Structure 1
Amino acid sequence: MSQSTRREVFDNDMLMSCEEIMRDVCQSFNAELREFNGEGDHVHLLVHYPPKIALSKLVNSLKSVSSRYRRAEYTGRINQIGTGAVFWSPSYSAGSCGGPPRSIVKDYIDNQKRPA
């Protein structure tokens, strides 16, 4: 199985905890996590952040801090699934939502198939 293959690691409890961690990280950047949801193998965030913040630094912090906390709190589950040394994929997708109304982006995030 290649390293880039997604693994179903998240359950609802992990996603709730991950949201809390990511909300704290955003606050430390003077950013606001406006929407959060996820599926078994990824998360979606709608973040309002100041233009002076480099998006890559924010994403790096979101991934590294949440990975550290996820591994500490859910070691058995993560090891059982076999994510290896890497919790998050090294890539991410980011887009600006200046075009569509925020409600459309919010609906998209809210309608993810969140695991039970």
Structure 2
Amino acid sequence: MSNSQEIRTGRHCVFNMHVHLVFVAKYRRDVFSKEILLTMQEVFRRVCIDFEAELVEFDGEHDHVYLLVNYPPKVAISSLVNSLKGASSRILRKKHPEIRNKLWGNALWSPSYFASSCGGVPIDIMKKYIKYESH
């Protein structure tokens, strides 16, 4: 998918669905460096592919991340979130062992998350928000 506004088709449906997600580090700890955020972006991109979804935009700060995901209707957002958080936590610990020194109780992510559908908002506006609001 090259165009996030592109109408997608499934076996029995036509769709264009986006979700804005925000994940926060447990206890808002100062955990994420630029290098860790780059690794995380690649992990999130691969997990999205496994769900036949697309990571349209990603950015983050030292204690939280923003994602904009284009996903098919067969995907439950909670399942996608669980996979994104689980895979990123596992891979970040392996690739960046220094992250463990910044964690509290060995948990990377807060168990909660923010999810918002992006219906009615032009995707370009949402992409700009994620790219520039996080700074």
Structure-1-length-normalised TM-score:
0.89
Q: Is 1:91 the equivalent of 2:112?
A: yes
How many percent of aligned residue pairs carry the same amino acid? 51
Alignment of 1:1-116 (within 5 A): 5-76=27-98, 78-111=99-132, 112-113=134-135
In the alignment, the residues of structure 1 paired with residue 45 and residue 26 of structure 2 have an alpha-carbon distance, to the nearest angstrom, of 26
2:58 alignment partner, SS class: strand
| Structure 1 counterpart of 2:131, one-letter code | D
Q: What is the alpha-carbon distance in structure 2 between the residues aligned to residue 86 and residue 101 of structure 1?
A: 35
Is residue 57–residue 130 contact of structure 2 (8 Å, CA) maintained in 1? yes
SS in 2 for 1:10: coil
Amino acid in the other structure paired with 2:33: D
Gaps (5+ residues) in structure 1?
none
Rounded to whole Å, the distance in 1 between the matches of 2:72 and 2:103 is 36
- Aligned Cα RMSD in Å? 1.4
Equivalent position amino acid for 1:60 in 2 = N
Structure number with the higher strand fraction is 2
Q: Which runs of 5+ in 2 are unaligned?
A: 1-24
Shift of 1:64: 0.2
Question: What's the CA shift string for 1:70-105, capped at 9, x where partnerless?
Answer: 1111122x2221332211110000001111111111
1:5 Cα deviation after fit: 2.0
Q: Number of matched residues?
A: 110
Residue 64 to residue 72, structure 1, CA distance change in 2 (3 Å): same
- Which consecutive aligned stretches of 4+ in structure 1 deviate over 4 angstroms post-superposition? none
Measured in 2, the distance between the counterparts of 1:46 and 1:65 equals 17
Please say which structure displays the higher CA radius of gyration: 2
